[in-house]
């Protein structure tokens, strides 16, 4: 094509550089806006899970536990109030890791392999109330470790390797109430002095360390609020209190102390431990006689005494009876106010009827993990008893009068025994709310087995039996043997009486689940809120009777598609767990049919990664109502080349070109266009104008051609020639072409219409002819340069043959030759 500008294009290079620079700047700015336009405004944070309501930061949680993290993630939302980094591999907390998290109240970092915390690293957390650093590798608590944590009230440092505590490390922790230093390497009570003198300290746990003595002269200025001291499992040889350093102590745990054989107990004055009402003396190697003497040193205010692991086997048990009988009046005085007796895990085989009669206020009696073969008579005639735990025994029969007088019972734990049948033994337990009977050998149940349990809200047993529980709220029939051969209706529906049931759980570890669930299986459960199962073949109809459902757990159910939820009308469901299924893609319509959804668990599904997921990925990253747990771990199963790639790492952005990208591209184009236009106008004004006219001419040309094509041409050729060449045209050209070859030519002096504008005549002539013949002579060239760019025929010089010329001209004039060729 012929270019309108070619040679004299000059450039001011400074101006050009400036313009390029300006363009780049614009592009960078646009790129920056593009990045900014995609902020972390949804629930998505790489390697972490955000939970809670984004518009209510007071309870927003960021959960990053168990992710193999080696550094603290960046971009944690500033307004987070609860951050969980448990179970990672962050060995060192760097100075700036928590910068800006001034709203953080709870920081949980157990099992994170921390051995070092840089000075001041925790200082940004000015609102922190709970700090969890348990199960790490800290060895020393240095001077500036906790600086700035003025609001800290709970500190977990258990299971570290701490041996030394610097004297000023706790100085600024004026709000600290509870410190857990269990399982460390502390050996000198003086190390604990900076802690016990904190003004608001209430609970101190220093069990399982290496203290060999506890002596009151080693500590001083103790917090007057200190009410709990856990010294258990230290090799204490001496427990000596000679001054009133623990005046308000209520709970003293020295269980399993004195492993060195014996423990010297020296409490000078009864008043020193006068407020202790809970005392744990389990596992201490002491004779009952000495134990009695120990008990005489505490005031009779004791309401809770634990003496686990003191009685081994039945012979010792008898001795124990005798001892209890023989114990001094003082001991019985000590027991008088007890509300809870815990003699679980002692090898007990029986308990006499009157053992605990003197305890007037007993409300909880824990007898689990023993070798009782029947419900002990000692549990009868305890009118205040509310909770009885008989789990993990070998009870193999229930008697009719076992529970007959216990009308105040609210909780009865009988799980893990050998009970074979039930025939109405619970009849009188009218206040019972929780009855746990699972893991027995129940083979039969008589009619009315659970009659009278009108207030029962939680029943856990293995056999489906549900007639009598109008108030039942939770039913767990996991581990069952139920099977149905098809999904046909049951008559009557199994749960039709359970109109108050809110939670139904049917996990089936023992069987591989049901292949069919009858379509009226859930009929009657009009209050059901939560349904958990592991079955397959769920049809939308199943959900019709349970309109209030808000939580649905369908893990391990071999579900391949969630489409059945669309027709199920689960508009109230807020919690959906469909992990460990065979779901490959998620249809947008499914999530649209769950408008209330706030929690979605789809972990461990074999996703097919492709453009069909693009919307899903975008939705997960941006939706601020629904939290998709573990989204960062969703893994592709198909196509093969993406297998084991994380779904969120697959490049899907080309599938969804969103509005932002359109805006970006069009803005960029607009800017570039403006630049080019102003450039062109500035430097190439005349070329632009010329180009404009050329363009107009092109349009005209096209129009004319369209006009003429259908009619065919008026002439075969239009002859363009200089006035000086007219004689040649009339003498040589005209006779040859019109005479010999009978072409029809258009000559301006002969064929132009008089009175018409010259330019119109020329145009009509050209467009009315199939070809244009230019007669080019030196004179012609003087005004018409462009012919140099075209092929042309030359008239032979004097003396040469003219035949070839005429022959070539004839060929070119033939209709099939391209019209635009200029001869
Ligand atoms: C989030 O909190 C705001 C204000 O507290 C409330 O209006 C909104 O309903 C809450 N959203 C959810 C999903 O709980
Ligand atoms: C959640 O997103 C919607 C639109 O997607 C928006 O109107 C709303 O303000 C967002 N809420 C929060 C708390 O960001
Ligand atoms: C995310 O966790 C993986 C391991 O699960 C780790 O390799 C990666 O570095 C983490 N990414 C970030 C940004 O922390
Ligand atoms: C510390 O606790 C006090 C009392 O609860 C509270 O008024 C103050 O705002 C808290 N400080 C910070 C930084 O949150
Ligand atoms: C203290 O730490 C021990 C050991 O980890 C733990 O068993 C106990 O529950 C903790 N106690 C408190 C009150 O945190
Ligand atoms: C205990 O308090 C007294 C007076 O307040 C002070 O003189 C003494 O140094 C303190 N003892 C310790 C070990 O801090
Ligand atoms: C001692 O008994 C108390 C209950 O009084 C219990 O909380 C604590 O865990 C027991 N301590 C040990 C070491 O078993
Ligand atoms: C023992 O406790 C009772 C309250 O149960 C109290 O009245 C009495 O003063 C206490 N005795 C001593 C010596 O502190
Ligand atoms: C139930 O209590 C009554 C009165 O307190 C008593 O007479 C009866 O023997 C008790 N029944 C059993 C089985 O202990
Ligand atoms: C059952 O519970 C209701 C409400 O909690 C209570 O009023 C009623 O007394 C209870 N019935 C029995 C027999 O305890
Ligand atoms: C779906 O459920 C909502 C409320 O739970 C109800 O208003 C609506 O009529 C139901 N739609 C259908 C088609 O059943
Ligand atoms: C999603 O489900 C709707 C309703 O069942 C269906 O019409 C649509 O074709 C599905 N879309 C895809 C991509 O499968």
> Is 676 inside a domain boundary?
yes
Pocket probe mutation, ligand 8, options 247, 274, 278, 302, max atoms within 8 Å of Cβ:
274
Q: Tell me the C-alpha distance between 586 and 601, whole Å.
A: 13
Q: 159 in ligand 5 pocket by Cβ < 6 Å?
A: yes
ω into 639 cis (within 30 of 0): yes
Choose the final residue of a domain: 266, 283, 316.
Answer: 316
Atom 11 in ligand 11: which residue has the minimum CA distance? 569
232: Cβ below 6 Å to ligand 5?
no
Q: Whose CA is nearest to atom 12 of ligand 7?
A: 255
> What secondary structure does DSSP assign to 60-100, as a single string?
-EEE--SS--SSPPS---TT-SEEE--SS---EE-TTTTTT
Ligand 10 atom closest to residue 455's alpha carbon, by position in its atom list: 1
| Residue after which a domain boundary falls, among 261, 289, 316 | 316
| Residue ranges lining ligand 1, Cβ < 6 Å | 53, 55-56, 598, 625
Ligand 6 midpoint to CA 699 (Å): 103
CA of 285 to the centre of ligand 7 (A): 16
Angle at 122 between CA 118 and CA 125, to 5 degrees: 160
DSSP run (H or E) holding 775: strand 769-775
Reference 479, options 516, 505, 447; nearest CA is: 505
**CA atoms in the 13 A half-sphere facing the CB of 545:** 19
- Position 450 in a domain: no
Ligand 10 within 6 A of CB of 431: yes
Contacts of 48 (CB under 8 A, 6+ apart): 62, 63, 64, 67, 73, 76
Ligand having the closest approach to the CA of 547: 11
Residue 411's beta-bridge partner residues? 387, 434
- Residue 287 is predicted with a pLDDT of 61
How many helices (H) and strands (E) in the chain?
A: 16, 40
Report which protein residue has its CA nearest ligand 10's atom 9.
Answer: 431
Q: Is 778 exposed, middle or buried (0-12, 13-18, 19+ CB in 10 A)?
A: exposed
Out of 64, 69, 76, mutate this one to test ligand 3's pocket (max ligand atoms within 8 Å of CB): namely: 69
- Whether the CB of 577 sits within 6 Å of ligand 7: no
Same domain, 693 and 810: yes
Looking at the structure, do residues 63 and 25 belong to the same domain, yes or no?
no
Supply 386's token pair: 């509310």
CATH code for the domain in which residue 162 is found: 3.80.10.10
CA of 599, nearest ligand number: 1
Cα 655 to Cα 329, 609, 618, 661, 805, distances in angstroms: 84, 12, 11, 12, 63
- Quote the ligand 1 centre to 625 CA distance (angstroms): 9
Phi-psi region of 408 (alpha: psi -120 to 50; beta: other; left: phi over 0): alpha
- Note the pLDDT of residue 266: 86
Is the Cα dihedral 33, 38, 41, 44 positive or negative? negative
Other beta carbons less than 10 A from residue 667's beta carbon: 14
- Dig out the tokens for 578 from the structure: 């469909």
Helix (H) / strand (E) containing 365: strand 364-366
Q: Do 227 and 154 sit in the same domain of this protein? A: no
- Both 111 and 154 in a single domain? yes
Start-to-end Cα distance in the chain: 18
Q: How far does the centroid of ligand 9 lie from the alpha carbon of residue 366, in Å?
A: 22
Asked if residue 693 belongs to a domain, the reply is yes
| 137 within a domain of the structure (yes/no) | yes
Shortest-distance Cα residue to atom 7 of ligand 6 = 221
Cα–Cα separations (whole angstroms), residue 370 to 308, 317, 347: 11, 12, 5
| Kind of pairing between the strands at 92-93 and 82-84 | unpaired
Residue nearest to atom 10 of ligand 12 (CA): 587
**Contact between 311 and 348 (Cβ < 8 Å):** yes
Of all protein residues, the one whose alpha carbon is nearest to atom 10 of ligand 2 is: 624
- For residues 207 and 234, the answer to whether their CB atoms sit within 8 Å is yes
Distances (CA, A) of 340 to 380, 471, 513: 15, 29, 42
- Residue ranges making up the domain that contains 722: 1-37+672-823
Q: Which ligand is nearest to the CA of 406?
A: 9
Q: Are strands 44-45 and 48-51 parallel, antiparallel or unpaired?
A: antiparallel
Q: Which atom of ligand 3 is nearest to the CA of 73?
A: 14
Q: What is the pLDDT of residue 692?
A: 84
- Residues near 219 by Cβ (< 8 Å), separated by ≥ 6? 189, 190, 192, 193, 196, 245
In a domain, 750, yes or no: yes
Atom in ligand 4 nearest the alpha carbon of residue 126 = 13
Same domain for 322 and 312?
A: no
Centroid of ligand 3 to alpha carbon of 47 (angstroms): 6
Q: Which CATH number goes with the domain that contains 716?
A: 3.40.50.10140
Helix (H) or strand (E) holding 107: strand 106-108
Q: Is the dihedral of CA 256, 259, 264, 268 positive or negative?
A: negative
User: In total, how many domains does the chain have?
Assistant: 4
Of 188, 219, 242, which residue is a domain's last?
A: 188
Strands (E), 405-518: 411-413, 421-422, 434-436, 444-445, 458-460, 474-476, 503-506
Task: Please report which residue ranges of 630-744 form alpha helices under DSSP H.
Answer: 659-683, 685-708, 726-728, 734
Taking alpha carbons only, the member of 213, 192, 303, 324 closest to residue 265 is: 213
Q: Are residues 71 and 166 in the same domain?
A: yes
The overall longest dimension of the chain from CA atoms, in Å, is: 157
Q: Indicate which atom in ligand 4 lies nearest the CA of residue 150.
A: 1
Distance 389 CA to ligand 1 centre (A): 41
Spell 357-379 as b/e; 16+ CB within 10 A means b. Answer: eebeebbbbbbbbbebeebbbbb
User: Are 399 and 253 in a shared domain?
Assistant: no
Nearest ligand 11 atom, CA 547: 5
Report d(CA 737, CA 823) in Å as an integer: 14
Provide long-range contacts, Cβ within 8 A and 24+ apart, for 112-117. Answer: 112/85, 112/86, 112/87, 112/88, 112/136, 113/88, 113/89, 113/137, 114/90, 114/138, 115/91, 115/139, 116/91, 116/92, 117/92, 117/93, 117/145
pTM of the complete model: 0.54
Task: Identify the nearest ligand to the CA of 336 by its number.
Answer: 8
User: Which ligand lies nearest the alpha carbon of 379?
Assistant: 9
Q: Which residue has the tokens 């940004």?
A: 124
Quote the strand ranges of 578-671, DSSP E.
599-601, 607-608, 627-629, 636-638
Closest CA to 9 of 683, 571, 591, 588: 683
Specify the residue with its C-alpha closest to ligand 11, atom 7: 571
Among the bound ligands, the one closest to the CA of 587: 12
Atom of ligand 4 nearest to the CA of 127: 14
Q: Do 287 and 350 belong to one domain? A: no
pLDDT at 536: 63
Clarify whether residues 682 and 806 are in a common domain: yes
Ligand 1 center to residue 75 CA distance, Å?
Answer: 23
Q: Ligand 9 pocket, 377 CB below 6 A?
A: no
Query: How far is ligand 4, taken at its centre, from the CA of residue 127, in Å?
Result: 6
What's the CA-to-centroid distance between 380 and ligand 9, angstroms? 8
From the CA of 151, the nearest ligand is: 4
Question: What are the mean pLDDT values of the chain's consecutive 10-residue runs (823 residues total)?
Answer: 35 49 56 41 71 77 89 88 94 93 95 94 95 97 93 97 95 96 96 94 97 92 94 91 91 81 79 83 68 66 56 28 35 62 74 69 85 87 89 91 86 89 82 84 66 70 49 67 70 78 73 68 89 77 91 88 89 93 91 92 92 86 84 88 87 66 82 86 81 84 64 77 84 84 81 76 80 80 58 69 78 55 39
Classified as helix, coil or strand, 449 is coil
Residue 142 lies in a domain: yes
Main-chain dihedrals φ then ψ at residue 622, nearest 5 degrees: -115, -20
Q: Are both 338 and 432 inside the same structural domain?
A: yes
Assess if residue 777 is contained within a domain. Answer: yes
Ligand 9 closest atom vs CA 405: 1
Cα 661 to ligand 12 centre (Å) = 27
**Token pair of 571 as six digits:** 């508009």
Of 86, 142, 95, nearest in space to 114 by CA: 86
Residues 98, 9 share a domain: no
Find out whether 812 and 823 touch, Cβ atoms under 8 Å.
Answer: yes
635 lines ligand 3 (CB under 6 A): no
DSSP state letter for 192: G
CB 202 within 8 A of CB 179: no
Q: What's the length of the chain? A: 823
Distances (CA, A) of 467 to 422, 496, 498: 15, 9, 8
Q: Which residues contact 468 (CB under 8 A, 6 or more apart)?
A: 448, 450, 451, 453, 497
pLDDT tens digit sequence for 178-188: 999 999 999 99
Quote the pLDDT of residue 255.
86
Residues contacting ligand 6 via CB (< 6 Å): 193, 197, 220-221
250 lines ligand 7 (CB under 6 A): no
Asked if residue 332 and residue 307 are part of one domain, the reply reads: no
C-alpha distances in angstroms, 47 versus 76, 217, 225, 616, 626? Answer: 11, 51, 42, 18, 17
463 within a domain of the structure (yes/no): no
Q: What is the whole-number distance in angstroms between the Cα of residue 46 and the centre of ligand 3?
A: 8
Decide: 332 and 368 in contact? Cβ < 8 Å: no
């Amino acid at each position: 094509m012929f270019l309108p500008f070619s040679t004299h294009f000059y450039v001011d290079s400074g101006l050009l550089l400036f313009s390029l620079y300006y363009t780049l700047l614009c592009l960078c700015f646009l790129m920056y806006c593009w990045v900014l336009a995609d902020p972390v405004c949804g629930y998505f944070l790489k390697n972490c899970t955000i939970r809670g309501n984004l518009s209510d930061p007071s309870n927003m949680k960021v959960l990053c536990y168990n992710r193999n993290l080696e550094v603290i993630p960046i971009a944690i939302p500033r307004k987070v109030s609860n951050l969980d980094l448990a179970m990672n591999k962050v060995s060192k907390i760097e100075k700036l890791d928590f910068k800006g998290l001034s709203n953080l109240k709870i920081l949980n970092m157990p099992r994170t392999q921390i051995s070092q915390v840089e000075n001041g690293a925790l200082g940004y957390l000015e609102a922190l109330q709970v700090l969890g650093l348990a199960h790490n590798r800290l060895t020393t608590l240095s001077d500036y470790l906790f600086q700035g944590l003025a609001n800290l009230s709970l500190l977990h440092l258990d299971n570290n390797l701490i041996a030394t505590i610097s004297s000023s490390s706790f100085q600024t922790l004026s709000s600290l109430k509870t410190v857990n230093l269990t399982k460390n390497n502390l050996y000198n009570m003086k190390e604990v002095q900076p802690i016990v003198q904190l003004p608001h300290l209430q609970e101190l746990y220093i069990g399982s360390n290496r203290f060999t003595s506890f002596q009151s002269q080693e500590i001083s200025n103790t917090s007057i609020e200190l009410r709990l001291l856990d010294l258990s499992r230290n090799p204490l040889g001496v427990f000596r209190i000679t001054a009133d350093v623990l005046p308000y102590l209520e709970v003293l745990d020295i269980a399993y102390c004195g492993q060195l054989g014996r423990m010297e107990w020296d409490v000078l004055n009864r008043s020193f431990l006068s407020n202790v009402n809970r005392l744990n003396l389990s596992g201490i190697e002491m004779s009952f006689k000495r134990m009695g003497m120990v008990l005489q040193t505490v005031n009779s205010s004791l309401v809770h005494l634990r003496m686990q692991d003191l009685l081994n086997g039945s012979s010792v048990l008898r001795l124990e009876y005798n001892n209890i009988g023989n114990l001094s009046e003082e001991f019985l005085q000590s027991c008088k106010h007890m509300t809870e007796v815990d003699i679980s895990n002692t090898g007990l085989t029986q308990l006499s009827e009157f053992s605990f009669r003197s305890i007037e206020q007993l409300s909880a009696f824990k007898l689990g993990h023993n070798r009782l073969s029947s419900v002990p008579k000692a549990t009868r005639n305890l009118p205040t008893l509310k909770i009885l735990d008989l789990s993990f025994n070998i009870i193999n029969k229930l008697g009719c009068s076992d529970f007959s007088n216990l009308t105040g019972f609210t909780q009865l734990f009988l799980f893990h025994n050998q009970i074979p049948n039930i025939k109405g033994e619970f009849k009188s337990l009218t206040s019972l709310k929780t009855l746990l009977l699972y893991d027995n050998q129940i083979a039969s149940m008589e009619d009315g087995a659970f009659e009278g349990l009108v207030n029962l809200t939680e029943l856990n047993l293995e056999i489906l039996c549900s007639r009598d529980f109008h108030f039942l709220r939770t039913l767990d029939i996991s581990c069952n043997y139920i099977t149905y051969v098809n999904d046909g209706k049951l008559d009557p529906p199994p749960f039709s009486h359970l109109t108050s049931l809110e939670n139904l759980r049917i996990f089936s570890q023992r069987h591989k689940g049901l292949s069919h669930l009858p379509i009226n299986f859930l009929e009657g459960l009009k209050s059901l809120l939560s349904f958990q199962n592991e079955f397959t073949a769920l049809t939308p109809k199943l959900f019709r009777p349970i309109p209030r459902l808000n939580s649905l757990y369908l893990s391990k159910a071999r579900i391949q598609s969630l489409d059945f939820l669309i027709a199920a009308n689960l508009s109230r469901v807020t919690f959906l767990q469909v992990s460990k299924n065979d779901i490959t893609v998620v249809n947008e319509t499914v999530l649209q049919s769950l408008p209330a959804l706030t929690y979605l668990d789809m972990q461990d599904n074999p996703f097919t990664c492709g453009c069909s997921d693009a919307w899903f990925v975008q939705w997960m990253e941006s939706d601020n109502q629904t939290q998709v747990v573990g989204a960062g771990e969703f893994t592709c199963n198909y196509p093969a080349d993406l297998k084991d790639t994380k779904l969120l790492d697959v490049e899907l952005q080309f599938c969804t070109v969103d509005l932002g990208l359109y805006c970006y591209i069009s803005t960029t184009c607009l800017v570039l266009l403006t630049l080019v236009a102003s450039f062109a106008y500035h430097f190439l004004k005349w070329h632009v104008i010329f180009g404009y006219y050329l363009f107009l001419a092109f349009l005209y040309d096209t129009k004319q051609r369209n006009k003429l094509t259908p009619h065919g041409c008026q002439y075969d050729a239009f002859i363009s020639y200089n006035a000086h060449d007219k004689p040649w045209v009339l003498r040589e050209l005209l006779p040859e072409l019109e005479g010999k070859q009978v072409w029809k030519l258009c000559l301006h002096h002969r064929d132009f219409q008089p009175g018409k504008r010259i330019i119109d005549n020329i145009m009509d002539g050209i467009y009315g002819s199939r070809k244009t013949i230019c007669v080019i002579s030196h004179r012609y060239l003087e005004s018409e340069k462009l012919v140099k760019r075209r092929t042309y025929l030359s008239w032979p010089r004097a003396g040469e043959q003219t035949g070839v010329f005429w022959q070539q001209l004839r060929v070119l004039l033939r209709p099939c030759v391209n019209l635009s060729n200029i001869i």
